Amino acid sequence: MSRSRSASGDRMLRVAVIGLGPIGNLHAAFYQADELAALVGVCDRLPERARAAGERLGVPWFTSAAKMLAQLAPEVVSVATGGFEYASDHYEPTLQALEAGCHVLCEKPICNDIEKAAQMVRVARERRRCFGINFNHRFTPAARLARRWVEEGRLGSLLFVNMALWIGRPGDFDSPYFHLKALNPHSVDMIRYYCGEISQVQCFAMKAPGRETLWSTASINLRLANGMVGHLLSSYDIERGHPMERCEVAGVAGRFVLEDMWREVTLYPAGDPVKSVYTNPVFGGYGGFDDTFRERIHCFLAQVAAGVAPEEIDGSGADGLAAQRVIAAGIESLETGQVVTVESG
């Protein structure tokens, strides 16, 4: 039987994880380590994955989400399934969990189908459940500090944003848009986090040597609702081992550059050669990318535990839907050669 109170006396939320690939296993490990959570069960359609995780974590394991939800009645569920375009399997278990009364933290992309994504957001809203997306990139101390600089006006009136995210994902893909849909939710979310809504998109893309199907490197011009201009570079063609993300936002009073979401962020005040740098601490800092999940998961638990209104959830389902709409506009631009207006709502 899992405990219901942490060592410090906080009530622990009963949590379950659906989907036990590498990412679901990461979620489960961080829930188990979090004092706000009691991991009560795990589920994967594949019995070998479900059993391995259940035995390792010491919790009951299931191959049916419906059965687990009915039997364990968790309060919080992580949906870390994948599927076509790394997202088609999010829809069904998210709706099952919401309809069972759970708060849901779903992996990105929210869904590869915009209509279904909109339905997921609608059902969460109607049921007054908290629905978050794992936009782990925005939850690091460095990313938070950059946001504070924007809110404090340290950048002044905003002018431009340059966002780039590149990883190595060799091999063939069953969708030409896998990279655009699966990688860019993070980048679009970071842009929206600092700069607000994106209104228009113009996308160019290439298939790198050896790629048959996949648009694997893309260059996307952006116009934002507040008048800013921006650029997003994304690629599946650069091997790991070096930095993978860079976010630069500039205004009339200053500019910041955030390297690798957690590693370092620098504020360059306009006209002042003295800059401010936050560097990931050696002791107590992040050891690597996986640590970005810890803070995001803790934030979701803390917001649910505090009874935060569903519309106040940081990195929400609505943010996930907005990101996919920007990506859909990019894909339409790539196909038509036109500048495309992002659907709002």
Ligand X SMILES: NC(=O)c1ccc[n+]([C@@H]2O[C@H](COP(=O)([O-])OP(=O)(O)OC[C@H]3O[C@@H](n4cnc5c(N)ncnc54)[C@H](O)[C@@H]3O)[C@@H](O)[C@H]2O)c1
List C-alpha distances in Å: 309 to 112, 131, 221: 26, 10, 34
Cα 86 versus chain centre, distance: 13
Q: Please identify, using beta-carbon distances, which residue of 16 and 224 lies nearer to ligand X.
A: 16
User: Least distance in Å: CB of 305 to ligand X?
Assistant: 22
For ligand X, which is the closer residue by CB, 52 or 305?
Answer: 52
Residue 108 CB, shortest distance to ligand X, in Å, is: 5
CB 123, min distance to ligand X, A:
16
Shortest distance in whole angstroms from residue 179 CB to ligand X: 11
Distance between terminal CA atoms of the chain?
A: 44
What's the min distance (Å) between Cβ of 319 and ligand X? 13
Q: Which residues of this chain interact with ligand X, rule CB under 6 A?
A: 18-24, 43-46, 49, 65, 80-82, 86-87, 89, 92-93, 107-108, 134, 136, 182
CB nearer ligand X, residue 6 or residue 63 = 63
Q: Judged by CB, which is closer to ligand X: 21, or 285?
A: 21
Largest CA distance in the chain: 62
Instruction: Assess contact for 109 and 87: CB atoms under 8 A.
Output: yes
Nearer to ligand X, 75 or 189 (CB): 189
Choose between 82 and 141: whose C-beta lies nearer to ligand X. 82
Q: How far is the CB of 203 from ligand X (least distance, A)?
A: 20
21: nearest Cα among 49, 2, 57, 41: 49
Task: Respond yes or no on whether the N-terminal peptide bond of residue 109 is cis (omega within 30° of 0).
Answer: yes
User: Least distance in Å: CB of 252 to ligand X?
Assistant: 33
Contacts (Cβ under 8 Å, ≥6 apart) of 106 = 78, 79, 90, 94, 120, 131, 132, 133, 134, 317, 320
Token pair, residue 198, equals 């994106």
Quote the least distance from Cβ 6 to ligand X, whole Å. 25
Nearer to ligand X, 140 or 250 (CB): 140
Please report how the helices 141-151 and 178-195 are oriented relative to each other, as an axis angle in degrees rounded to 10: 50
Closest alpha carbon to 193 in 183, 185, 205: 185
| Neighbouring residues of 215: CB distance < 8 A, sequence distance ≥ 6 | 176, 177, 179, 180, 205, 206, 207, 334
Closest contact distance (angstroms) between CB of 59 and ligand X is 15
- Tell me, what DSSP letter sits at residue 85? G
Using CB atoms, what's the residue nearest to ligand X?
A: 21
Question: Closer to ligand X at the Cβ: 12 or 117?
Answer: 117
Bridging pattern class, strands 61-62 and 131-133: unpaired
Residue 189 or residue 248: which is nearer to ligand X going by CB?
189
Name the region of 307 (left: φ>0; alpha: ψ -120 to 50; beta: rest): left
